[in-house]
Amino acid sequence: RKEVEQDPGPFNVPEGATVAFNCTYSNSASQSFFWYRQDCRKEPKLLMSVYSSGNEDGRFTAQLNRASQYISLLIRDSKLSDSATYLCVVKGAGNNRKLIWGLGTSLAVNP
Amino acid sequence: DVKVTQSSRYLVKRTGEKVFLECVQDMDHENMFWYRQDPGLGLRLIYFSYDVKMKEKGDIPEGYSVSREKKERFSLILESASTNQTSMYLCASNTGIVTEAFFGQGTRLTVV
């Protein structure tokens, strides 16, 4: 089993749709979780950190379910500019400084 | 703003050449990372460093070495480039244990 797994998609949605991505992780001791966004031929950039209590940033909501070992990202009212690959990232347990990256989920928002 | 700068956006090298990829960050980050990214394989960690002159192997270190003589600079070296090292190489840095990683713009290396 991969350490971090994501559905690769692609997800094709119309503008204005709500879309959700899930990501599962294998190490129950993992401590920190992130969603990154990567545009085509560009570097990844942090979209949001994922906190135990869940967090929201505008149209984006991230949730963490420790019992089931998954994190989710919800995008409401999708925009064309949301088209990108969304990467789930999990930091190793304890003092491990390595970040473990999912393969990414591709989203295409269509007019 | 944090800036992570990679020396080249595009590089074409010949098989067997020694290749240096340079990465510089300007935010005094102690952690620096080298990844390669290939379609279908995602981001794979080659080496990382959490202090000057310190280095640790990542998941795919074979065929690569690194150098960190100064805190702000982390170099990736391909001792003898091979065609299977054609890839996008991404450098990243962060500080502490639980912070955002900032990436350089990437170097697309082609080995012919």
Asked whether the beta carbons of residue A45 and residue B103 sit closer than 8 angstroms, the reply is yes
Name chain A contacts of B40, Cβ cutoff 8 Å.
103
Asked whether the beta carbons of residue B104 and residue A43 sit closer than 8 angstroms, the reply is yes
How far is A95 from chain B, CA to nearest CA, in Å? Answer: 7
Q: For residue range B45-83, what is the model confidence (pLDDT) as tens digits?
A: 999 999 998 999 999 999 999 999 999 999 999 999 999
DSSP state of A79: -
Which percentage of chain A shows pLDDT scores above 70? Answer: 100
Q: What is the pLDDT of residue B98?
A: 65
Q: For residue range A60-88, what is the model confidence (pLDDT) as tens digits?
A: 999 999 999 999 999 999 999 999 999 99
Least CA distance to B48: which residue of chain A? A98
Closest CA to A59 of A47, A77, A71: A77
How far is B53 from chain A, CA to nearest CA, in Å? Answer: 17
CA of residue A74 relative to chain centroid, distance: 9
